[in-house]
């Protein structure tokens, strides 16, 4: 039997059925009309954001990385919980605008921004985190044509990465950001061109579980920001310190001690060099804010055995939960937290693999896990489904289409 990842704390059952915020998943599925279904808990979103804010120094603004989950009702819920939003495309810009988010609270990072996306962002008053000198030149030309003063920041490709992070975004050649040594000259050019200078965006990595690694990266980030601001010869209005706080997905993973991270950052803020004294700081997080608030529910449509192994074949799969299938940035496939939601808390009776309805061996949501015996009609829950689930999976593969989503 292979171990399953840790179910986030606070989930319980009602008469043996998993409940989310006091409602059984059978009720929720009935309400939605069908499986597969993503359920996002508003109270979990609120609790997470509030706890994070309490742990961080008050000077630190918290931004939500929309890429983790752009479901409009969820975005609207995040409006009162975070200070800003980071988008990665013109599509996400349209979603945030449609959700009533003030574009002045939005920043746009990501390589390969098309002219049409730059234009829409500049016209809306979004801050652009520039990823290259070429992109900077295009942004300035578009702004001049529109007669608008653009809000421009530089995404710095730092000389370091976030140790232990699932996705490294710095420390060597990268398609993201501008190599640190070229940043001061570009900052001077942007300021001379009359742009509204919005500072640096320094994102070194994502999905780290070590508080020490995050603390060390924030130390390096502040040091780099100070050096680049000195070399630019201009005050630094803002500095986005990146993010990187991960969540436990796999057996043995432990949550990040965010209090330790906040305490260390608070101490650094007390002793900032002069060049950063008036700088506004933020962090930019996706999965930490929303990942554990989501549960993916999929129904068993077939139970079969092959060479003595049990397969629970569901109506969902990797087309909604690519990450849980191990095909989204993981090197070694391990099991996400999962359970038979309609037999929640029941004793383990057998080893079974939960697979999806796609005809590819990649479509495996749980591999040889220990479960109570499940049958056709039972509902499987995959936890930690609030981030990079619906949005980061190939929903149209094999003509399956998207899952339903619901914020409760
Ligand atoms: C620029 C940027 N911001 C934010 C994020 C969100 O990361 P996470 O969801 O791990 O917090 C990413 C993830 O790749 C990113 O590239």
pLDDT at 282: 98
For atom 8 of ligand 1, which residue has the closest CA? 286
Looking at 3.20.20.10, 3.90.550.10, 3.40.50.1220, 2.40.37.20, the CATH number of the domain 70-285 comes to: 3.20.20.10
Q: Do the first three CATH levels of 12-40+292-407 and 70-285 match, i.e. the same topology?
A: no
Contact 87, 66 (CB under 8 A): yes
Query: 11 by DSSP, 3-state: which?
Result: coil
pLDDT at 164: 76
Q: Can you name the CATH fold of 12-40+292-407?
A: Lyase, Ornithine Decarboxylase; Chain A, domain 1 (2.40.37)
pLDDT at 138: 98
Q: Is 92 in the pocket of ligand 1 (CB under 6 A)?
A: no
Q: Is 335 in the pocket of ligand 1 (CB under 6 A)?
A: no
Q: Which atom of ligand 1 is nearest to the CA of 169?
A: 16
Q: Is 119 in the pocket of ligand 1 (CB under 6 A)?
A: no
- Encoding tokens for residue 216? 């060390």
pLDDT at 87: 98
Please give the Cα distance from 56 to 328 (Å, whole number): 30
What kind and span of H or E run contains 190?
Answer: helix 183-192
| pLDDT tens across the length of the chain (408 residues) | 999 999 999 999 999 999 999 999 999 999 999 999 999 999 999 999 999 999 999 999 999 999 999 999 999 999 999 999 999 999 999 999 999 999 999 999 999 999 999 999 999 999 999 999 999 999 999 999 999 999 999 999 998 888 877 676 777 888 899 999 999 999 999 999 999 999 999 999 999 999 999 999 999 999 999 999 999 999 999 999 999 999 999 999 999 999 999 999 999 999 999 999 999 999 999 999 999 999 999 999 999 999 999 999 999 999 999 999 999 988 889 999 999 999 999 999 999 999 999 999 999 999 999 999 999 999 999 999 999 999 999 999 999 999 999 999
Question: Which one of 213, 241, 286, 330 would you pick to mutate in the ligand 1 pocket, going by the greatest count of ligand atoms within 8 A of its CB?
Answer: 286
| Displacement of CA 144 from its chain's centroid (Å) | 34
Q: Is 286 in the pocket of ligand 1 (CB under 6 A)?
A: yes
Q: Is 285 in the pocket of ligand 1 (CB under 6 A)?
A: yes
Planar angle of CA 287, 289, 295, nearest 5 degrees: 70
Q: Spell out the domain ranges in the chain.
A: 12-40+292-407, 70-285
- Encoding tokens for residue 351? 């080893």
Q: Is 208 in the pocket of ligand 1 (CB under 6 A)?
A: no
Strand extents, DSSP E, 160-223:
167-168, 178-179, 196-202, 205-206
CB neighbours of 130 closer than 8 A, spacing ≥ 6? 136, 139, 152, 153, 154, 155, 178, 186, 190
Q: Is 206 in the pocket of ligand 1 (CB under 6 A)?
A: yes
**CA 286 to ligand 1 centroid distance, Å:** 6
CB neighbours of 1 closer than 8 A, spacing ≥ 6? 348, 351, 368, 369, 370
**CA 273 to ligand 1 centroid distance, Å:** 27
């Amino acid at each position: 039997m292979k171990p399953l990842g840790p179910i986030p704390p606070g989930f319980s059952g009602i008469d043996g059925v998993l409940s989310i915020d006091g409602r059984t998943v059978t009720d929720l599925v009935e309400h939605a009309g069908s499986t597969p279904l993503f359920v996002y808990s508003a109270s979990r979103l609120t609790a997470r954001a509030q706890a994070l804010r309490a742990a961080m120094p008050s000077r630190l603004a918290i931004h939500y990385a929309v890429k983790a989950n752009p479901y409009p009702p969820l975005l609207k819920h995040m409006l009162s919980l975070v200070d800003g939003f980071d988008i990665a495309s013109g599509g996400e810009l349209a979603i945030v605008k449609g959700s009533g988010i003030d574009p002045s609270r939005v920043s746009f990072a990501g390589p390969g921004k098309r002219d049409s996306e730059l234009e829409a962002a500049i016209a809306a008053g979004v801050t652009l985190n520039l990823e290259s000198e070429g992109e900077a030149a295009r942004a300035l030309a578009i702004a001049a044509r529109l007669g608008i003063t653009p809000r421009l920041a530089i995404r710095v490709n730092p000389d370091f990465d976030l140790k232990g992070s699932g996705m490294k975004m710095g420390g060597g050649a990268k398609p993201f950001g501008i190599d640190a040594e070229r940043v001061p000259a570009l900052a001077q050019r942007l300021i001379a061109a009359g742009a509204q200078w919005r500072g640096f965006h320094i994102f070194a990595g994502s999905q780290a579980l070590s508080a020490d690694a995050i603390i060390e990266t924030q130390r390096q980030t502040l040091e780099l920001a100070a050096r680049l601001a000195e070399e630019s010869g201009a005050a630094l209005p803002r500095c986005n310190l990146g993010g990187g706080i991960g969540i436990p997905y796999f057996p043995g993973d432990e949550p990040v001690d965010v209090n330790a991270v906040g305490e260390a950052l608070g101490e650094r803020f007390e002793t900032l060099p002069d060049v950063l004294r008036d700088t506004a700081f933020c962090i930019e997080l996706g999965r930490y804010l929303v990942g554990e608030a989501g549960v993916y529910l999929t129904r068993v449509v077939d139970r079969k055995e092959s060479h003595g192994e049990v397969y629970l074949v569901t109506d969902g799969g990797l087309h909604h939960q690519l990450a849980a299938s191990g095909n989204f940035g993981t090197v070694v496939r391990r099991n996400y937290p999962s359970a038979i939601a309609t037999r929640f808390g029941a004793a383990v009776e057998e080893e079974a693999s939960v697979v999806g309805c796609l005809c590819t061996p990649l479509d495996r949501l749980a591999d040889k896990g220990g479960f109570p015996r499940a049958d056709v009609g039972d509902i499987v829950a995959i936890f930690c489904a609030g981030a990079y689930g619906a949005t980061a999976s190939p929903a149209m593969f094999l003509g399956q289409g998207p899952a339903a989503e619901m914020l409760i």
